[in-house]
Amino acid sequence: MLDKTEDVSVAADNWLVQFEDALASTDDVLLKPLFHPESYWRDVLALSWNIQTVNRAFAILDELPAHARHSAPHDFRIDADRAAPRRVMRAGTNTIEAIFKFETSIGRGHGIVRLIPDAADDNRLKAWTLLTALEELKGFEEQRGSTRPRGQAYSRDFRGPNWLDQRKTSAEYADRDPVVLVVGGGQAGLSIAARLKQLGIDTLIVDREARIGDNWRKRYHALTLHNQVQVNHLPYMPFPPNWPVYIPKDKLANWFESYVDAMELNFWTGTDFQSGSYDDAQGRWNVVLRRADGTTREMRPRHVVMATGVSGIPNLPSIPSLKNFAGKIVHSSRYEDGEDWSGKRALVIGTGNSGHDIAQDLHSSGADVTLIQRSPTLITNIEPSAQLAYAAYNEGTLDDNDLIAASMPLTLARRSHMLMTEQSKELDKDLLEGLRRVGFKLDFGDGETGWQFKYLTRGGGYYFNVGCSDLVVGGAIKLKQFSDIETFVSDGARLTSGDTVRADLIVLATGYRPQEELVRKLFGETMAARVGPIWGFGEGQELRNMYTRTPQPGLWFIAGSLAQCRINSLYLALQIKAIEEGLLPRDVGPRANLA
């Protein structure tokens, strides 16, 4: 057992020394005693230039040495500036966890090793999980801290352009094209643009909204984030310490404006990305942008980053009889406020976060609301249940917690969320029983892996209860099943029972179309087929085509929560920088390695 082992720091140090010696040796057999049979190696660019996970010791021993010969990893050591080695529980397993740093032939990185005893080998401590993650490229470090720009203090040209003049010129792009064009100005677009800025990559964000932050500002009136403030910082600029635990959408939108200004990001509002084609010979895109004044601008960036989010094109389900309805129909993405519907009747179709929040907003405004459930939905109270996934962010540093989040292989992440789901079901027992009594259909995700994996696989299908479920249980908000609707009529929905649920408003809280449909719309069928599915997990153990090179050179995708964008924007930016500096080929290739 772990409590019979030597000091955890000594154990971690000893493992790292043996690991480095084994990697440096030509005898691959030296690695075998270091990995538990049920082990996992997740590499994020550091050794393989891929974001990949390898399961089980035999597969790791087959793959790791080849990558090590190319990347020459060395100088593995416990990082004294990070959390000290410690005993923790991860995915239901007691383990020694240690954060280390290391170097390769071209970069520096951080990693995490977790050690557990191997009962089949006299309880010898072996690696259960190993993360190796690239953090910076040698000679191309971020421009911050001791390497921050000097500015004009000692080299001012009193007759030349000042800082503001230079910023305006930079953002106009009158005489140049950006190296990277980022499409979408939410947390994904801001995160990757900020990372690229720090790496000296000329980057322009374009967004169709009229004002920075409108992608949050224009959402429904009562919206706040459903996870807590300590999880949601953008890169380089944490939220002030006096901010509320749950951030209101307008406060976040205004912060986005401040962030763009403070980080000196080039951002064109009111700009619609209309089309793009790739010039293979030149290694550049031909893109057409439509500006707010109706003019068009053609650009030839080397990279296009799609940062339009998991929630892109609204999903408008085919309901033929809906055309019979004489009232107003609006998708949840266009719903703003319930005040105009006081004293009126509303049907909200869809029981995810948006559907519940909109139903509660309408009810609070004095509307008579019926929630229509189309499919079973995961329900969890916002506290404490929904926050269990973020427990690590309540202690330690943001950098350590982001690394811990990046270190969990898919198999163990699923196991962790299964355990959390069981815990949340017990915590929410009374609520769930009440929902069942009124006919609400519940589920808890594929394999009972909970809301996080619903988000990662389909982008929704759950609700963090902030009161709407209680209103449904109490009957203040009525509930009907979509399967009970025979047809829509001019004044509402006629049920199979013959009754009519009357309505003045129908809100379609029916989610969004897959991102590949946006690729098809903007770039054409051929390119969409080349790229393939985006988001969710396929045969591999990583999100498909996210944060990494895709089958289409120069086309990248970033999406997700603020935390996901903060963490993965670093890795996406490092790949673009490496390509620009000739360290990484543009094409994905069969299996590109560090040279």
Question: Are residues 234 and 378 located together in one domain of the fold?
Answer: no
What would the two tokens of residue 243 be? 């901010």
Last residue within a domain, chosen from 79, 110, 137: 137
Alpha carbon 333 to its chain centroid, in Å, reads 19
CA 516, 519, 525, 529 dihedral sign is: negative
Tell me the percentage of the chain whose pLDDT exceeds 90: 86
CA distance 474 to 468: 10
Q: CA–CA separation, 271 vs 4, rounded Å?
A: 63
- Whether residues 74 and 203 share a domain: the answer is no
In eight-state DSSP terms, residue 238 is P
Answer for the pair 57, 130: CB distance below 8 angstroms, yes or no: no
- Of the CA atoms within 13 Å of residue 579, those in its CB half-sphere come to 24
Do 502 and 529 belong to one domain? no
Q: What is the CA radius of gyration of the chain?
A: 26
> Please, which residues have CB within 8 angstroms of residue 551's CB and are 6 or more apart in sequence?
530, 531, 532, 545, 588
Element (H, E) at 572: helix 562-580
CA dihedral 232, 237, 242, 248 (to 10 degrees): -50
Question: What pLDDT is attached to residue 146?
Answer: 65
Dist CA 358 CA 342 (whole Å): 13
CA distance 398 to 382: 22
By CB atoms closer than 10 A (0-12, 13-18, 19+), residue 506 is buried
Going residue by residue through the chain (595 aa), what tens digit of pLDDT does each one get?
Answer: 334 445 999 999 999 999 999 999 978 889 999 999 999 999 999 999 999 999 999 999 999 999 999 999 999 999 999 999 999 999 999 999 999 999 999 999 999 999 999 999 999 999 999 999 999 999 999 977 766 766 655 566 777 888 899 999 999 999 999 999 999 999 999 999 999 999 999 999 999 999 999 999 988 888 899 999 999 999 999 999 999 999 999 999 999 999 999 999 999 999 999 999 999 999 999 999 999 999 999 999 999 999 998 656 888 899 999 999 999 999 998 898 889 999 999 999 999 999 999 999 999 999 999 999 999 999 999 999 999 999 889 889 999 999 999 999 999 999 999 999 999 999 999 999 999 999 999 999 999 999 999 999 888 899 999 999 999 999 999 999 999 999 999 999 999 999 999 999 999 999 888 889 999 999 999 999 999 999 999 888 999 999 999 999 999 999 999 999 999 999 999 999 999 999 999 877 544 333 3
Domain boundary at 458, 487, 508, which? Answer: 508
- Among 296, 320, 454, 490, which Cα is nearest to 379's? 454
248 contacts 273 by C-beta, under 8 angstroms: no
Total number of domains constituting the chain: 3
Quote the CA–CA distance of 389 and 543 in Å, as a whole number.
18
pLDDT at 269: 97
In a domain, 546, yes or no: yes
Residues 205 and 338 in one domain: no
- What pLDDT does residue 595 have? 32
The last residue of a domain, from among 460, 477, 508: 508
147's torsion region: left (phi>0), alpha (psi -120 to 50) or beta? alpha
Same domain, 489 and 342: yes
Instruction: Output the domain CATH number for residue 129.
Output: 3.10.450.50
- Residue 470 lies inside a defined structural domain of this protein: yes
Amino acid identity at 266 = N
pLDDT at 336: 85
Pick from 112, 91, 131: nearest CA to 449: 91
Range of the domain at 8: 2-137
Q: Is residue 207 part of a domain?
A: yes
Are 201 and 329 in a shared domain? no
Shared domain for 78 and 126, answered yes or no, is: yes
**Strand order through the sheet with 328-331:** 328-331, 505-508, 345-349, 368-373, 478-481
Same domain, 345 and 445: yes
Q: What is the DSSP letter of 240?
A: P
Q: For residue 594, is it within any domain?
A: no
287 close to 276: Cβ distance less than 8 angstroms:
yes
Same domain, 200 and 107: no
Neighbours of 378 (CB within 10 A): 23
One domain for residues 196 and 299: yes
CB distance 462 to 355 below 8 Å: no
Residue showing tokens 């500096």: 581
For residue 288, give the CATH number of its domain: 3.50.50.60
At residue 6, the pLDDT reads 59
- Look at residue 333 and give its three-state secondary structure: helix
Do β-strands 303-306 and 296-299 pair in parallel, antiparallel, or remain unpaired?
unpaired
- Inside any domain, residue 451: yes
Same domain, 329 and 308: no
Amino acid at 551: P
**Token pair 């990559």 in the structure block, residue:** 201
Question: Alpha-carbon distance 246 to 229, whole Å?
Answer: 6
Q: Residue 489: inside a domain, yes or no?
A: yes
Residue 142 forms part of a structural domain: no
Distance of alpha carbon 329 from alpha carbon 315, whole angstroms:
14
What tokens were used for 288?
């057409």
Looking at the fold, whether 16 and 76 belong to one and the same domain comes out as yes
CA distance 144 to 155: 20
- For 67, phi and psi rounded to 5 degrees? -65, -35
Concatenating the DSSP letter of every residue in 416-453 gives HHHHHHHHHHHHTHHHHHHHHHTT--B---GGG-HHHH
Backbone φ and ψ of 270, nearest 5°: 60, 30
- Find out whether the peptide bond into 161 is cis, omega within 30 degrees of 0: no
- Structure-block tokens of residue 183: 């499409």
Residue 543 pairs in a beta bridge with 537
SS3 content of the chain, % helix, strand, coil (to 5): 35, 25, 40
What is d(CA 565, CA 184) in angstroms, rounded to the nearest whole number? 13
- Which pLDDT score, from 0 to 100, does residue 3 have? 41
What Å distances lie between residue 553 and 305, 318, 576, 592, CA to CA? 11, 35, 11, 14
Residue 155 lies in a domain: no
Model pTM score: 0.93
Rounded to 5 degrees, φ, ψ at 512 are -135, 155
Contacts of residue 121, defined as CB under 8 A and 6 or more positions apart, other chains included, come to 33
CB count in 10 Å sphere of residue 130: 25
Q: How far apart, in whole angstroms, are the C-alpha atoms of residue 320 and residue 323?
A: 7
3-state secondary structure of 501: strand
Q: How many angstroms separate the CA atoms of 211 and 254, rounded? A: 10
